[in-house]
Structure 1
Amino acid sequence: MIKAIDVSSLQPNPDLSGTDIVIIKASEGRTYANPKRSSQAKAARAAGKPVGWYHFLWPGNIQAQAEYFLRCAAPKAGDILACDWETTTDRTWATCAEKDAFLRAVKRLRPDLRLLLYCNVDFWKNRDDSSGCADGLWIADPSAPAGHPRVTHSWVIHQYGIKNHTDVNVINMSSVAAWKKWAGAPEDTEAPYTPPAFPAGLAPGKSRPSAKRLQKALRAAGFMTISDKDLSDHYGKRTESGVAAFHDAHPQFKAEGKTRDVAIGPRGWAYLFTRAYGGSQ
């Protein structure tokens, strides 16, 4: 088995020694985002650790929570996602139906990424009535020895305790390579990433196959929330908003004198694709 830690803003600079995987809290409900998430991911990637993201689920507004989660996490290819289903600070909890709806919503938006359900043994045995856990179960059972959670369902991760104020887990896989393969991580290569050439004819209001490619890159980099079925060859308002958000985050690629720039140029295109697919954030 391999080891993982899961962290939130309570562990702003976690000790990464002795762990194989780092799973980071991205968001909670519709309004909270972990302010340390980007620096935590950057440190984990720099240390060569695969990254995962989780969202603390609240009752209600399920589609909005799914979209907010993915905007906050901005996951890369090979990252995994998780739904944290437990009691909120208001002593409420999402129903099993809401949990399942959230898992479906996230899967629709990012079908390319693995998605887990995190919950404790009480929720799994007494609140779940569907066994819905997307691509696998992440079970919290600190009363059981590592790797031996008290559930009969197959599991991917067992959170078994706390060390140095950080949750510790074991993963039911033999190696980091097995994890990467399961998660769909790009194969390691010594060659630096080369973004695709900027396509001719790509512009707001135009229809070109490259518009769909742009939408996928904006989604992968966290600047656009769109399902596979809504991808389009048309560079419309939705794509314009994604490009504008990219430019707001990286104003060096805006056209000079423009407050809101919805047209991506060759330099911005190259940077966007490198951020989305080419390395650590």
Structure 2
Amino acid sequence: MSRRLISVLVSAGLALGTVFGVSQPVSAADSAPDGGGRANAGVKPGARAATASTTATTPAGYTIRGIDVSSHDHNLGPINWPGVATDGYKFAYVKATEGQTYRNPYFAEDYAAAKAAGLLVGAYHFARPDGRDPVTEANFFIDNAQFAKDSQTLVPMVDIEWPYWSGAPTCYGLTTTEMSAWIKSFTDQVKARIGRPVMIYTNTNYWNPCTGNNATFGANPLDIAGYTTTRPPLPAGWTTETVWQYAAGNPSEPGNYSQNVFNGDYPALTRLTGAPAAAAPIALRARINSRYVVAESAGTKPLIANRTSVGLWEQFDLVDAGDGFVALRARANGRYVVVEGTKPLIANRTSVGAWEKFTIINNSDGSISLQANANGRYVVAENAGTQPLVANRTSIGPWEKFDKIATS
């Protein structure tokens, strides 16, 4: 009998019942000697996917691929990390810990070998809220995660998903208020330790019912699990994903690892590291006329999409404004773009407030749309780009779509 099956049977024997909301004893947190949890949130509670992820097609619109692994991926021997890199993968997440005491015995070797192969690499933790001590659990994770403020170490990730043992209560026996408080304490402690927000890996069908549709974690990068051909619906609080785990992997098959895609290009991926590279300025090209948005007359006139090439006046810095928002700073004058109610957008502000914040909407066709925080409306290239940009649309159509283009 395999050690994995033994651990599942032991865990099942410790479970108190199958009724939703029944608390697990704290001792169950360490019932799996080999660490029973792995990033597999795209399946229902207590299940393990057995589909072959190596044959899954990379979702359209995504070009940066990665994998995640745990001790289960060593069932057939060591991981060939140079081969992973040769296959075109650019990043990996490796399970480091679970609960308050489990350490993946393969973590250190996988972490080092993946980096040596040239991948960007992060550590992940399988959360056990039934332990009821999020601060201790977060400290245990960071103490063992080998996070470094360098250009190859990705921000850590916390895996918040279904219990993996039969008979466990779906939300670990916590109420929605208790679950939300546990997650907040854990994520706050990680940020206090490393100075960066931890990535949250989850599934909408877990997150929404178990947190009561808590929408306050949108500032944390999201790794959404969904083994579907199109990206699954996002949990409450997020308007876009950072990573999508689109196939589950099968540890009983050689090289069949969980498959991920990054929502962006490689320079954007590097900004998830401990020492993120400075972001290159971007240009916005309107889909409706293929013209670039310009801060006209060095920003003294409203923005308009009428340029056929990119110069200084067509470049903008995408600035993190916190809580999932961004601000656009014109390179021409160093001023921020503002939404002044119904007036056209103009780059004339020296600081970021509510009117200078936008949410980036990633559309399924690879374009983006900008939703103004000031009024919740979408920015439009009015009259097919012949008039200045204004944030007054309630839905996204062709005139509200832009291509985000790195200029260097």
Return the TM-score normalized by structure 1. 0.60
* Cα pair 1:103 1:134 within 8 Å, conserved: no
Say which structure is richer in helix: 1
**Deviation per residue, 1:182-206 (Å, 9 max, x gap):** 434366xxxxxxxxxxxxxxxxxxx
The 8 Å contact of residues 155 and 272 in structure 2, kept in 1 or not, is answered as no
Q: Which residue of 2 aligns with 1:160?
A: 246
C-alpha separation between the residues in 1 aligned to 2:144 and 2:224?
A: 24
The reply to whether residue 101 of structure 1 matches residue 206 of structure 2 is no
Counterpart contact for 2:187–2:197, Cα < 8 Å: no
Residue range with higher mean Cα deviation, 129-138 or 116-125:
129-138
Aligned partner (choices 190, 198, 207) of residue 124 of structure 1: 207
Which residue of 1 is the match for residue 114 of structure 2? 44
Establish whether residue 72 from structure 1 lines up as the match of residue 144 from structure 2: yes
Give the gaps of 5 or more residues in structure 1: 188-281
Counterpart contact for 2:98–2:125, Cα < 8 Å? yes
* CA deviations over 1:220-264 (Å, ceiling 9, x no partner): xxxxxxxxxxxxxxxxxxxxxxxxxxxxxxxxxxxxxxxxxxxxx
What one-letter code is carried by the residue in structure 2 that aligns with 1:178? A
Cα offset, 1:14, TM superposition: 3.0
Instruction: Tell me which structure has the larger Cα radius of gyration.
Output: 2
Shift of 1:141: 0.7
* Greater Cα offset, 125-134 or 5-14: 125-134
| Matched positions, count | 184
- The question of whether the paired residues in 1 share the 8 Å contact of 2:94 and 2:110 is answered with yes
1:62 aligned to which of 134, 158, 166: 134
Structure 2 equivalent of residue 14 of structure 1: 79
Q: TM-score, normalised by structure 2?
A: 0.42
- Residue 254 of structure 2 corresponds to residue 179 of structure 1: no
**RMSD, aligned CA:** 2.2
Q: Structure 1 vs Structure 2: percent identity of aligned residues? A: 28
| C-alpha contact 2:202 2:223 (8 A) present in aligned 1 | yes
Using CA pairs below 8 Å that are at least 6 residues apart, which structure has the higher relative contact order? 1
- The CA deviation at 1:34 is 0.5
Give the one of 82, 88, 96 matched to 1:26.
96
Contact kept? 2:122, 2:155, Cα under 8 Å = yes
Structure 1 pair 81/133, CA: closer, same or farther in 2 (3 Å)? Answer: farther
Distance, in Å, in 2 between the alignment partners of 1:34 and 1:88 is 18
Q: Which amino acid aligns with 1:63?
A: V
Q: Which has the higher strand share?
A: 2
**1:81 alignment partner AA:** P
Q: Kindly provide the amino acid, as one letter, of the partner of residue 68 in structure 1.
A: F
Kept in 2, the 8 Å contact 1:155–1:172? The answer is yes
C-alpha distance after superposition, 1:59-112 (max 9, x if no partner): 21111001100111121124211111012245243612211221111111111x
1:143 aligns with one of 217, 228, 239? 228
Tell me which residue corresponds to 2:16. Answer: none
Question: For residues 173 and 184 of structure 1, do their structure 2 counterparts lie closer, same or farther at Cα, with a shift above 3 Å needed?
Answer: farther
Gaps of 5+ in 2: 1-61, 250-254, 278-408
